[in-house]
Amino acid sequence: MDPPSADARRFAPATERNREPILAILDTVLPPSGTVLEISSGTGEHAVFFAPRLQRLRWQPSELDPLLRDSILAWMRLFPAQNLLPPLDLDVRRSPWPIKMPDQKGQSLAEAITAIVNINMIHIAPWEACQALFSGAERVLPDGGIVYLYGPYKCRDYPTAASNLAFDQSLRDRNSAWGLRDLETVVALAQAHHLKLHQVIEMPANNLSVIFQNRIFQNRIFQKRDSLNKSNVLSYVSRF
């Protein structure tokens, strides 16, 4: 992450490279309405890019680091969007999360959390953060709600790129609790929280989009799935 600008904005160089490919997937798999809760929004660059391009949804960023929340607000001042909400102070490991639940009075349909987006977090956080992410998702999402994860993974049935192996080692050298996660382990954890794996999609720079649906009660949220590029959808999903 680059140093902050004079107005508190921070910059993650990877954002400009990955935001378009991520948006293409999000536009296809996110539900038609409701609120997207972005967990660990970082600098806020993704939030200000996605929200105005996904007008059918409200975008709720969140971040534990107060300096990064300041960065999100600074980006929002520069690129305001009516459907983009101020960032929440949210520690994924602390329950309950500071959001309205469906049974609370005064919550409109648009305020309901119908999807959770988490980009580049679980490999630079302790495993407990990933566990808490899925536990919270099970708690707050309705039947059919979506969890979208993006980042690098290790996969037992696919060779790990040399660059990812080097990245994994560099993370572990910085913090022994960090490192690339085994996709199979993440999927098993999600399933323990009634989140069914829907798709694994290869992304640029050896990253993956991993998409889950809560309780898989109905499939209408994926009505646009045929528009996805089938050439980069891994056959991995068929094993689950």
Question: Which parts of the chain fold into alpha helices (H)?
Answer: 14-29, 45-50, 66-78, 127-140, 162-174, 183-192
b/e code 68-83 from CB counts within 10 Å (16+ = b): bbbbbbbbbeeeebeb
pLDDT of residue 220: 39
**CA-closest candidate to residue 25, choices 50, 59, 55, 56:** 50
Instruction: Say which CATH topology domain 14-239 has.
Output: Rossmann fold (3.40.50)
- Give the CA-trace dihedral at 39, 42, 48, 50, to 10 degrees: -50
pLDDT of residue 157: 83
What gap in Å lies between CA 171 and CA 189, rounded to an integer? Answer: 22
Percent of the chain with pLDDT over 70: 83
Q: Where are the domains of the chain?
A: 14-239
Chain-centre distance for alpha carbon 175: 22
Which has the higher per-residue pLDDT, 146 or 219? 146
pLDDT of residue 80: 97
What gap in Å lies between CA 117 and CA 36, rounded to an integer? Answer: 7
What gap in Å lies between CA 145 and CA 29, rounded to an integer? Answer: 10
pLDDT of residue 222: 41
pLDDT of residue 105: 54
Do 42 and 63 contact (CB within 8 A), yes or no?
Answer: yes
> How does DSSP classify residue 223?
T
In whole angstroms, how far apart are CA 5 and each of 41, 48, 74, 86? 18, 17, 10, 20
Model confidence pTM above 0.85: yes
**CA-closest candidate to residue 36, choices 140, 132, 192, 139:** 140
Q: What does the pLDDT look like over 190-227, one tens digit per residue?
A: 999 999 999 999 999 999 999 999 985 544 344 344 44
Structure tokens at 205: 């720079």
Half-sphere exposure of 200 (CA within 13 A, CB side): 22
What gap in Å lies between CA 7 and CA 139, rounded to an integer? Answer: 37
Mean pLDDT is lowest, of 9-23, 89-103, 130-144, 200-214, for 89-103
pLDDT > 80? residue 181:
yes
